[in-house]
């Protein structure tokens, strides 16, 4: 830390409001950690903050509106506090696209920055502190490689690890390639060292992040001879080329690294069906059949539509039949896998029959969870040139129908778990304490299974269970979560040593997939 970037004593608290996907959540964590290194603490209340950052999402128009309206609400703080008011910055994908136009509407905003400028945040804050205003830092990092180190705040059992950035897919509706730039991957070696450092600090579950992690490794020579050398899918060779690093290699390298023995779960998001290789599916097999034993039994594989004509218009470059075949193969290898997906309804020219093909896909795949959205034209994308011809009320009706249909399916898939004992990583005290009967004592805790189902359970001791892996016998279900009883395991103390006191961090976020 240079003296110039030391935040003055008077500037002590930072509030980051996060909109968008896990990538933005991870970016927020990085911003808070970077400012923490300069002596700032995060606060949940913007009114207490000396620095307010809006980490915005541009994936749909509504998301942009939310960020801009939150920005508008902060104006009053500047007015009330005058010179002593907070520094206000607009970042994330909204910052990247805005490039400073917003100053006309929000002159009280101090600066704008994009996702590639996050590591410069302390300098940007210092610049604003020094009286500079209305500046913009949205240049993409031009280097061909991507190197970073994950920063987490406090002690956590879970961490997001960016393994790549950008997206080269250019689906016709999507703004992300314009906000996050071209794909670049970290090397396997660097990711392993990074995770080893996190594990030494108490992390037991990592989520490997990228817009399309299955193209991880593109352009990075496979100098260490990792296996498998090449990736294949029903459409042929996919992903990075032979001789380059790839995603299944990374999973096997994590599994086999002796420094990572204490890591219990590996998750990843997101993946594209085109690159969802046979070799990645094979990672879900049981260990004795060559699988990656610590890979979570969950897959989020966005499909967007059940109609081949829509998939072509969306520029997805795969057929629905190959997607269904991939799901079947996966379920054969890993019958208890939990599946989730993203869907768009009302894409230009989508007919009622094409929408019904999407609805029927839910019956075919039987997801645990779906993230469904009404199509929202994004300026600058290819689809934005098509007429947005599905009326809003039709989009709305299709969305609600799809969500209601999914709830019925999930009610039965969740009920199938009743009676099983599942391992749960405890994520915190549940917001809803309704499981506690009147007059009873204890607290409801919430966590997730390997297959990504939410499990709530009661504990009447006063122990802090945050970050612990516990066995929970499932006794009840809804279409969104499971409930159960913690099976008090005599080995609990040894399996969950209390040498790490996990902390929960506040998160002021509105997260979408």
Any contact of residue 31 with ligand F3S (CB under 6 A)? Answer: no
State how far the Cα of 357 lies from the Cα of 350, in Å rounded to an integer: 11
Residue 58: which of ligand SAM, ligand SF4, ligand F3S, none does it interact with, CB under 5 to 8 A by kind?
A: ligand F3S
Any contact of residue 66 with ligand SF4 (CB under 6 A)? Answer: no
# residues near ligand SAM by CB under 6 A: 19
CB of 376 to ligand SAM, least distance (A): 4
Query: Which burial class, exposed, middle or buried, applies to 448 when counting CB atoms under 10 A from its CB (0-12, 13-18, 19+)?
Result: buried
Residue 376: which of ligand F3S, ligand SF4, ligand SAM, none does it interact with, CB under 5 to 8 A by kind?
A: ligand SAM
State how far the Cα of 215 lies from the Cα of 233, in Å rounded to an integer: 13
Q: What residues between 229 and 248 interact with ligand F3S by CB under 6 A? A: none
Closest C-alpha among 254, 256, 277 to residue 205: 254
Inter-axis angle of helices 352-365 and 392-415, nearest 10: 10
Range in contact with ligand F3S (rule: CB under 6 A) among 15-23, 102-110, 122-130, 149-157: 15-23
CB of 105 to ligand SF4, least distance (A): 27
Report residue 391 as tokens. Answer: 């009326």
CB of 512 to ligand SAM, least distance (A): 7
# residues near ligand F3S by CB under 6 A: 13
CB of 102 to ligand SF4, least distance (A): 23
Q: What residues between 147 and 186 interact with ligand F3S by CB under 6 A? A: 175-176, 179-180
Q: 109, 152, 174, 203: which one contacts ligand SAM (CB under 6 A)?
A: 174
State how far the Cα of 493 lies from the Cα of 194, in Å rounded to an integer: 28
| Residues 136-149: b if buried by 16+ CB within 10 A, e if exposed | bbbebbeeeebebe
Q: What residues between 197 and 216 interact with ligand SAM by CB under 6 A? A: 211-212
Binding mask 289-328 for ligand SAM (x = CB under 6 A): -------------x-x------------------------
From the centroid of its chain, how far is CA 11? Answer: 30
Any contact of residue 5 with ligand SAM (CB under 6 A)? Answer: no
Any contact of residue 298 with ligand SF4 (CB under 6 A)? Answer: no
CB of 118 to ligand F3S, least distance (A): 13
# residues near ligand SF4 by CB under 6 A: 10
Nearest to ligand SAM of 60, 298 (CB atom): 60
Radius of gyration of the chain (CA): 23
State how far the Cα of 20 lies from the Cα of 420, in Å rounded to an integer: 34
Taken in order 96, 98, 99, 103, the sign of the CA dihedral is negative
Any contact of residue 171 with ligand SF4 (CB under 6 A)? Answer: yes
Closest C-alpha among 154, 90, 126, 102 to residue 1: 126
State how far the Cα of 238 lies from the Cα of 212, in Å rounded to an integer: 13
């Amino acid at each position: 830390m240079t003296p110039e970037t030391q935040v003055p004593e008077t500037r002590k608290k930072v509030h980051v409001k996060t909109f968008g996907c896990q990538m933005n959540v991870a970016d927020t964590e990085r911003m808070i950690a970077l400012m923490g290194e300069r002596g700032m603490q995060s606060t949940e209340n913007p009114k207490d903050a000396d620095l307010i950052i809006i980490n915005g999402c541009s994936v749909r128009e509504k998301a942009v509106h939310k960020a801009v309206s939150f920005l508008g609400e902060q104006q009053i703080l500047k007015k009330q506090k005058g010179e002593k008011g907070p520094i206000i910055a607009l970042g994330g994908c909204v910052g990247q696209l805005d490039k400073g136009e917003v100053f006309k509407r929000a002159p009280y905003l101090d600066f704008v920055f994009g996702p590639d400028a996050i590591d410069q945040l302390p300098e940007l804050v210092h610049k604003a502190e020094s009286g500079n205003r209305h500046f913009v830092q949205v240049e993409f990092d031009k280097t061909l490689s991507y190197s970073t180190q994950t920063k987490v705040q406090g002690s956590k059992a879970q961490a997001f690890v960016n393994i790549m950035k950008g997206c080269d897919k250019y689906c016709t509706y999507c703004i992300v390639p314009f906000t996050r730039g071209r794909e670049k991957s970290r090397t396997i070696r660097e990711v392993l060292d990074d995770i080893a450092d996190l594990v030494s600090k108490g992390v037991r579950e990592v989520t490997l992040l990228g817009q399309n992690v299955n193209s991880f490794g593109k352009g990075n020579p496979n100098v260490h001879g990792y296996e498998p050398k090449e990736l294949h899918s029903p459409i042929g060779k996919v992903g990075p080329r032979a001789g380059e690093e790839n995603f299944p290699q990374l999973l096997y390298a994590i599994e086999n690294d002796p420094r990572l023995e204490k890591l219990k779960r590996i998750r990843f998001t997101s993946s594209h069906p085109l690159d969802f290789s046979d070799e990645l599916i094979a990672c879900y097999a049981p260990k004795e059949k060559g699988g990656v034993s610590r890979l979570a039994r969950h897959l989020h594989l966005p499909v967007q539509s059940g109609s081949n004509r829509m998939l072509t218009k969306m520029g997805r470059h795969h057929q629905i039949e190959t997607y269904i075949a991939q799901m079947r193969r996966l379920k054969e290898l890993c019958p208890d896998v939990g599946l989730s997906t993203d869907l768009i309804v009302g894409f230009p020219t989508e007919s009622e029959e094409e929408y019904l093909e999407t609805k029927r896909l839910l019956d075919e795949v039987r997801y645990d969870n779906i993230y469904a959205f009404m199509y929202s034209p994004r300026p600058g994308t290819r689809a934005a040139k098509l007429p947005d011809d599905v009326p809003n009320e039709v989009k709305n009706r299709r969305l609600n129908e799809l969500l209601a249909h999914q709830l019925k399916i999930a009610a039965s898939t969740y009920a199938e778990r009743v009676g099983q004992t599942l391992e749960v990583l405890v994520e915190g005290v549940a917001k809803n304490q309704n499981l506690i009967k009147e007059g009873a004592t204890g607290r409801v805790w919430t966590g997730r299974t390997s297959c990504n189902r939410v499990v709530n359970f009661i504990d009447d001791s006063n122990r802090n269970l945050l970050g612990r892996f516990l066995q929970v016998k499932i006794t009840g279900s809804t279409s969104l979560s499971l409930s159960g009883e913690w099976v008090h395991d005599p080995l609990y103390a040894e399996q969950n040593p209390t040498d790490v006191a996990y902390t929960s961090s506040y998160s002021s976020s509105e997260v979408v997939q």
